[in-house]
Structure 1
């Protein structure tokens, strides 16, 4: 069977090739383009697993949507930072702390960042990824905080490797779901929508938990180095 003049895809890797990241005729960019519902096999499958062309989960945010999302998250972070400094100043007489991102901006802005925010709906400015560290020596001494190091290349290297591994796991799950969607045959076994969404949720939790595990270790190492 041909789809839009192409042969039936045998895997989700091929399936994604016909899922173009461009708007449909109505100007909306969808994960599964509207015309896929016209294909007897794929359209029927998408309906059976509960997808519809205009489901919120099938609509891809625009660049403007992401800009607004990040701006709102940055504003919340600025507010949390101000609240932290006020509270610590009340306790210790002085505090000038600034945020440190465990998964830092070089990762979010790099080739793997879209996986975190677009596929897993994680935002680096949210509390799960943030440590408050001292911006100056007076804060470090008065508030007993580790000093902000700027960036820590060793942490960036470790987290980059982990993000790559997490992305590979996500891609394997996506491939397995695609095998089910297209009816293709291959080494990877099919996966239902429910199984894929469970794997997606598990992966998101694992990332958040891993960053939480890293936080005290980063603080401990900074305090050790800084004396």
Structure 2
């Protein structure tokens, strides 16, 4: 099933979760339709590279606007602020072999607020705004988050395989069960990053004291 759910375009140039040959199969196509799917449902169409580029660009712009708003607000309070965003799941993970799992499977974007901390970009901001200094990258955090992303991806692969077995006529996981597992996993990722944020700040303040 993993092979049949490969992310490659059909003859019409559209990349589908369940590709055209499955819908043309008398047995499998019927089962998919009975399960409530259709070839051109939005949930069966995978975004293109251009779609993702536009999505990331919009998210990066939103982050830029949030950063400017944060700095304006903190400057009004403290007289000066130059904060810089820090990504808990950092760019090396998003740009690496596991990044597609996060954005394509979990519908998560690293520039969105759930994954961002505002940290001091210079000594003046650190002192005036009482923020931890931006460390650039934290290899220990990257290592921990990489291991967790790999584990989350493995759990999703297991659920996706079970769901695929059902979709092709076997006994596995129903669509409702898969969607529930997907949503639970996505919440766990966001909640885990939220749990990490104060711990990262605490450790940075300790090291920088």
Flag whether TM exceeds 0.5 (same fold): yes
Flag structure 2 segments of 5+ consecutive residues without an equivalent: none
Residue 185 (structure 2) pairs with residue 203 (structure 1): yes
Count matched residues: 209
Unmatched 5+ residue regions in structure 1?
A: 1-14
Counterpart selection for 1:191 from 143, 148, 173: 173
1:92 aligns with 2:74: no
State the Cα distance separating 1:182 from its structure 2 match: 2.3
Q: How does 1:78-89 map to 2 (within 5 A)?
A: 78-89=64-75
Structure 1 CA distance, aligned partners of 2:74 and 2:84? 12
Match of 1:44 in 2: 30
Describe the SS at the equivalent of 1:16: coil
108-117 or 15-24, larger mean C-alpha shift = 15-24
Question: Match for 1:171 among 153, 157, 165?
Answer: 157
183, 191, 199: which one pairs with 1:217? 199
Superposition TM-score, scaled by structure 1 size: 0.90
Shift of 1:40: 2.0
| Alpha-carbon offset, residue 24 of structure 1 | 1.7
Q: 2:31, 2:169 within 8 Å by CA — same for their partners in 1?
A: no
Native 8 Å contact 2:2 2:161 kept in 1: no
Query: Does 1:157 find its partner at 2:143?
Result: yes
State whether structure 2 residue 39 is matched by structure 1 residue 57: no
CA distance in 2, matches of 1:90, 1:156: 34
Moved more, 47-56 or 90-99: 47-56
Residues 160-193 of structure 1, C-alpha deviations (whole Å, 9 max, x = no match): 0000000000000011111212234xxxx61000
Cα separation, 2, equivalents of 1:25 and 1:158: 41
Cα distance, 1:17 vs. partner? Answer: 1.6
CA drift of 1:20 comes to 4.0
1:96-111 alignment runs, 5 A limit: 96-111=82-97
Instruction: Select between 16-25 and 34-43 the one with higher mean Cα deviation.
Output: 16-25
1: CA distance between counterparts of 2:64 and 2:83? 11
CA RMSD of aligned residues (A): 1.0
Could you state the TM-score of these two structures normalised by the residue count of structure 2? 0.97
Aligned to 1:123: 109
Q: If you compute each CA radius of gyration, which structure gives the higher value, 1 or 2?
A: 1
